[in-house]
Amino acid sequence: MGLNKPILLCLLAIGAHASVVSRGEAKHKVVDSMDYYNWWDSSTATDGYEETDPYCQCGLDKKFGMPDGWDSTELWVDVVIILDTSEAMGDVALVDASSLIESFIGTDDGDVMITDTKADYYTRVGLIAMSDKAQVIYNLNMTKSDKVTGKVQIQKGLKQIDVLSAFNAALSMFADGLKTQPDRANTRQVIYYMTDSDPTFDPRPLEGFKASQGKIIVNDFLEPGDVPRPGLKDLASDGYYFTDIQYNYMATIQLFCKANCYCRPDKNRVAYPGHNSDPAVNAAGGCFRVVPAGVPYSKMRANCEDGLIASIHDSDKAAFVSKQFTSAAPGSDYFWIGYSKGDSGWTWEDKSTNPYTNWDTANGEPSSNSVAKCAYVDTTTAGLYWYFSVSGRVAKDESDDGMRNGIVRRIL
């Protein structure tokens, strides 16, 4: 069997409360992989384990509704709020929305999101009051001391806003913001509509933004007895349309957290949703990136930007990883996984204690050979079975020189 051209696929672990794209490559927060890895296919779960979200932890505690395991002051996003000032919104809803916006940055209890650009991690917040035209109230420079109440009013005679004009105004604000701070080119962009208009529009101009650039949140300020607006549902990104968060500022902060969990668009990374069922989060299982290389097991990490070889804890993950591998290297058959044998036995690179394995037991795997050190997957087997290697060299075929492809997880 000849040598397959080695390819590395890097899996980038990301944390929802610290975007992997903060300040481009120059600034990012390290996520400790040990905190995020006890998750797997429920069909193979063992007593004592439960499926969890490994990366995008944006939960709120059930008692107080505050961040559980993440810090809102560490969010790194650019947010443009579109505040509807048409008659569809109404005076009462406008006052409620104004107070809610002020709560996003801080309350009497302290900071909620940091907007100080000198801080290590901060969020920029802009505000556009939308009537028949876009009025910029804050140009991505709103601070905790700034107010909304008293600065906006309903435009009489205007039945509802043009949501596409508002969208274009938000894009212009983002573009202007990059002129002053080009280092935020990869920062997650969020457009947040606070409205009760019932628009009819062509959603296609928004699809490119929603697919790769950012998220659109819609907070529909429905009156009691009203039904959800179908046009506003179309306006929002999947999982980001709400009618019941008008008085809960932390519910919106949680959405900013979820929006902040994603794969960098400029690095050709593939998101893995894992077992997450929340449509607002599509990268709960991490981000994969293909990096060409040709190395044995021991050299894998150095060729994947300080990465760790990916761990496989269920059959779904195995299928996903295998698909990325075969797409990148269609002529190759094997890839390394982050499972190696030391003095204490077989252990995962991500420090997980998940008991899932997929050895080819019918053919005597894993080997009891004392020098068996590493594991790899044979994609030619229907079950994507694992096999052992000796000191980073493939043992299955003596004619092969042991250079294997690999799937690697990078911690950012």
Q: Parallel, antiparallel, or unpaired: how do β-strands 7-13 and 405-411 relate?
A: parallel
Structural domains in the chain, CATH included, are 7-57+263-411 (3.10.100.10), 72-259 (3.40.50.410)
Instruction: Report the run of H or E that residue 206 belongs to, with start and end.
Output: helix 204-208
The tokens describing 326, both together, are 């075969």
Question: What pLDDT, on the 0 to 100 scale, is given for residue 326?
Answer: 84
User: What is the CA angle 212-217-221, rounded to 5?
Assistant: 165
Phi, psi of 371 (to 5 degrees): -100, 5
Helix axis angle, 249-259 relative to 91-105, nearest 10°?
60
> Can you tell me the distance from the alpha carbon of 222 to that of 194, in angstroms, rounded to the nearest whole number?
10
Q: Where are the alpha helices (DSSP H) in 301-388?
A: 315-328
> Can you tell me the distance from the alpha carbon of 404 to that of 393, in angstroms, rounded to the nearest whole number?
8
Question: What pLDDT, on the 0 to 100 scale, is given for residue 305?
Answer: 64
Question: What pLDDT, on the 0 to 100 scale, is given for residue 284?
Answer: 84
List, for the chain, all residue ranges whose pLDDT scores fall below the cut of 70: 1-54, 266-267, 290-295, 301-308, 369-372, 390-412
Question: What pLDDT, on the 0 to 100 scale, is given for residue 206?
Answer: 94
- Cross-strand partners of 242: 219
Q: Is the pTM of this model over 0.95?
A: no
CB 231 within 8 A of CB 157: no
Q: What is the pLDDT of residues 111-141, one digit of tens each?
A: 999 999 999 999 999 999 999 999 999 999 9
Q: What is the pLDDT of residues 226-253, one digit of tens each?
A: 889 899 999 999 999 999 998 899 999 9
Question: What pLDDT, on the 0 to 100 scale, is given for residue 352?
Answer: 87
Produce one character per residue of 300-322: b if its CB has 16 or more CB atoms within 10 Å, e if not. bbebbbebbbbbbbbbbbbebbb
